[in-house]
Amino acid sequence: MLGLTRKDTTILLIVTVLALGAPFLLNPFPISSPLAQFNAGYPDLMQRFVIFGIFAIGFNILFGLTGYLSFGHAAFLGVGSYAGVWMFKLLGMNVIPAILASMIVAGLFSVLIGYISLRRSGIYFSILTLAFAQMSFSLAYSVLTPITGGETGLQLSLNDPRILGQSVTPDGNIPVPSLFGLEMGENTRLVISNWVFTFNVGYYFCAVILILAFYLSIRIFRSPFGLMLRAIKTNQTRLNYTGLNPKPYTLAAFVISGMYAGLAGGLMVAMDPLAGAERMFWTASGEVVLMAILGGAGTLIGPILGAGFIKYMENIVSKINETILHNWFAFLPDGLEDIVVSMVYPFIGKGWHLTLGILFMLVVIFLPGGLVEGGQRIGRIFRRKKKKETGDGSGATTVNPAE
232-242 pLDDT tens trace? 999 888 888 88
Contact partners, residue 57, CB within 8 Å, separation at least 6: 213, 214, 217, 260, 303, 304
Is pLDDT larger for residue 395 or for residue 236? 236
Give CA–CA dist 345/28, Å, rounded.
25
What values do phi and psi take at 136, rounded to 5?
-65, -40
Mean pLDDT computed over 142-160: 91
- Residue 350 located in a structural domain: no
Mean pLDDT computed over 109-136: 95
Instruction: Write out the residue range of the structural domain in which residue 165 sits.
Output: 21-28+40-280
Instruction: Report how far apart, in Å, the C-alpha atoms of 52 and of each of 12, 38, 56, 193, 278 are.
Output: 18, 20, 6, 32, 15
Angle at 132 between CA 128 and CA 138, to 5 degrees: 145
pLDDT of residue 392: 58
- Residue 336 located in a structural domain: no
Mean pLDDT computed over 367-395: 80
235 φψ region: left (φ > 0), alpha (ψ -120 to 50), beta (else): beta
User: Does the model's pTM come out above 0.75?
Assistant: yes
Lowest mean pLDDT among 21-25, 45-49, 168-172, 398-402: 398-402
Cross-strand partners of 275? 154
pLDDT (tens digit, 9 = 90+) per residue, 202-230?
Answer: 999 999 999 999 999 999 999 999 999 99
Average pLDDT of the chain, as a whole number: 91
- Residue 370 located in a structural domain: no
- Residue 261 located in a structural domain: yes
- Residue 379 located in a structural domain: no
DSSP code string of 235-294:
HHHHHHHTT---HHHHHHHHHHHHHHHHHHHHHHHHHS-EE-GGGGSHHHHHHHHHHHHH
- Residue 181 located in a structural domain: yes
Cross-strand partners of 190? 197
Structural domain count of the chain: 1
Angle at 318 between CA 365 and CA 267, to 5 degrees: 90
- Residue 325 located in a structural domain: no
Give CA–CA dist 166/28, Å, rounded.
41
Give CA–CA dist 90/106, Å, rounded.
18
Please check the confidence at residue 172 and state whether its pLDDT lies above 70. yes
- Residue 329 located in a structural domain: no
pLDDT of residue 269: 96
Give CA–CA dist 108/97, Å, rounded.
16
Mean pLDDT computed over 244-248: 91
